[in-house]
Chains A and B, each alone.
Chain A
Amino acid sequence: MKHGFTQKNLSAYLDAELSPDKVQKIELHLQSCESCLRELQEIRSGKAVATCFENPDWQDTEALWQNIQRLNISTPEKGDVKNLEMKRTNLWQRLIHPRPAFAIAVLLILFGINLFSNLKQKKFQYQRVQLDQELSYGFDYGLYLDALVAGSPAIEFERRYESQQASYEQARSQTTFRLASFTHMPKTFQLREVRLLKNACCRSVQFSCLENSREVIIFQQPQGHPVTFGNYPLERIELNGQMYHRIKTGKWTVLSLQLKESQFMAIGEMNESDIAAIIFAITTI
């Protein structure tokens, strides 16, 4: 006979809830087990004292019923305990509860600070992601920028790589990485994303301009892999002591800026004031 079985069932044994065979087993065990016998005595005492509990005199249960009825009728969803808890507490008391009130006050202050700083600064806020080093192996940036500046990247790209059996659509279906994105920009231009499409056949890269002509892409070239500009004439310009190159073709403008050892590029439709803002953005990266 196992010790554990007896110990587990001692209460059931005392309460005569066990089948005769189990009772017999337990009694047999109790004859030879002092500790189980002591345990049984403890439990028996506990059971005996539990019978001493008396219920208090309940005052007015009619009032309790009236209250239940009132709450049950007055609650929109009959008897919804949560709603009742809400009703029990005065609405204003809940609203001016210290913790919610404090949280609301903090949120309002933060919102105010954010609004004020936005109104005051109107600065660029952006995240910058370095181009993957892998990008720099054997790509023909110059070609692609030519195509982009010409305003029809898809056609130019496809024609160029036709011989290598890599179509623009094939390239487009490959992995896309978000390289950079701006969260707040002036109304004049907005950088949305730079997309990289990797193609297994020709290892090409595409910086895809979004369709909205007011969008400008800014990206940073890895060291030692300067962008070439094909046959387009470069215009060398100085702005606020900063030298940059500009190419203008149709509605597109390409800016190239050398900062320390990195080359930054901006591509898109932009006017003179946009250019100043873009250069400011690049120099503060």
Chain B
Amino acid sequence: MDNPNLEDLLIACRQGSDDAFRKLFEQYHMRVMSTAYRMCGNIQEAEDVTQDVFLKAFKEIKKFREAASLFTWLYRITINLCIDKERKRQRRQKYHENVDVDSERITIEEANSNENTRTLDQQMWQDEIQSILQKALSRIKPKFRTVLVLKDIEGLSYEEAAQAVGCSQGTISSRLNRGRKELKTLLVKMGMGEEYFQER
């Protein structure tokens, strides 16, 4: 449980209190936004999803009873909306599995070889790495990406991730296997150096 007053907050939300909604938003919006960002791959879409998640949550909170699983419920809404959005996007434009892997390899290899770039503009370098990581993540199938985001990036436990996704913990484990392996394979293809794969 994140907050001992969560039950009270939930009751106030059900009664339509704007303050309670505001508190709920403040408490969870970063998690929602971050998950949406990892799932969608861009900030604008993540903000749209966050907006929709809270609007949907405010609408359906009257039906929601278990305060203990409030944040997994929000994760579930987030994941579903992200997947819906992705489906709509895929309908509009054909999804290309192998686009730009080679061009990203060049970018990252150039960056690796240019020590000056690394020292002169560490932030740009970091941004570049983050962009490559996000691109690789976006290419993983949604069901594997979802557990990777929830477990490895958002830090949920197996039980919480299973609750959010609506499957067993065993399934979370096997999907994580697949997600982690795919992430590594894609990043190696993009030229990511070995140092990134070492445990920290």
Give A residues with C-beta under 8 Å from B.
Answer: 7-12, 15, 17, 39, 42-56, 58, 61, 64-65, 67-69, 71-72, 75, 77-81, 84
Complex interface: chain B residues within 8 A of A75 (CB) = 55
**Which 8 residue pairs spanning A and B have beta carbons closest together?**
A46-B180, A79-B59, A50-B152, A45-B197, A11-B176, A12-B173, A79-B55, A46-B184
Complex interface: chain B residues within 8 A of A12 (CB) = 158, 169-170, 172-173, 176
Does B153 lie at the interface of the complex (its beta carbon under 8 Å from any beta carbon of A)? yes
Complex interface: chain A residues within 8 A of B113 (CB) = none
Q: How many residues of B contact A (CB 8 A)?
A: 55
B interface secondary structure, majority? helix
Known: A68-B54, A69-B18, A77-B59; 9 extra A-B contacts, CB below 8 A, are A7-B177, A11-B176, A15-B176, A46-B182, A52-B129, A58-B30, A79-B57, A79-B59, A81-B59
Complex interface: chain A residues within 8 A of B33 (CB) = 58, 61
Complex interface: chain A residues within 8 A of B60 (CB) = 79
CB distance from A188 to the nearest CB of B (A): 55
C-alpha spacing A78/B13, complex, angstroms:
12
Q: Are B153 and A50 in contact (CB under 8 A)?
A: yes
C-alpha spacing A139/B158, complex, angstroms:
80
Complex interface: chain A residues within 8 A of B148 (CB) = 50
C-alpha spacing A67/B60, complex, angstroms:
19
Q: Are A48 and B129 in contact (CB under 8 A)?
A: no
Given B22, B51, B130, B158, which contacts A53 in the complex, CB threshold below 8 Å?
Answer: B130
Given B18, B38, B179, which contacts A46 in the complex, CB threshold below 8 Å?
Answer: B179
CB distance from A13 to the nearest CB of B (A): 8
Asked if A81 meets B181 with Cβ closer than 8 Å, knowing A50-B153, A69-B18, the reply is no
Contact with A along B189-200 (1 / 0, CB 8 A): 000100011111
Complex interface: chain B residues within 8 A of A58 (CB) = 30, 33, 43
Minimal Cβ-Cβ distance residue in A for B59 = A79
Q: Are B52 and A55 in contact (CB under 8 A)?
A: no
Complex interface: chain B residues within 8 A of A69 (CB) = 18, 21
Q: Are A51 and B152 in contact (CB under 8 A)?
A: yes
Asked if A61 meets B58 with Cβ closer than 8 Å, knowing A45-B197, A49-B183, A71-B51, the reply is no
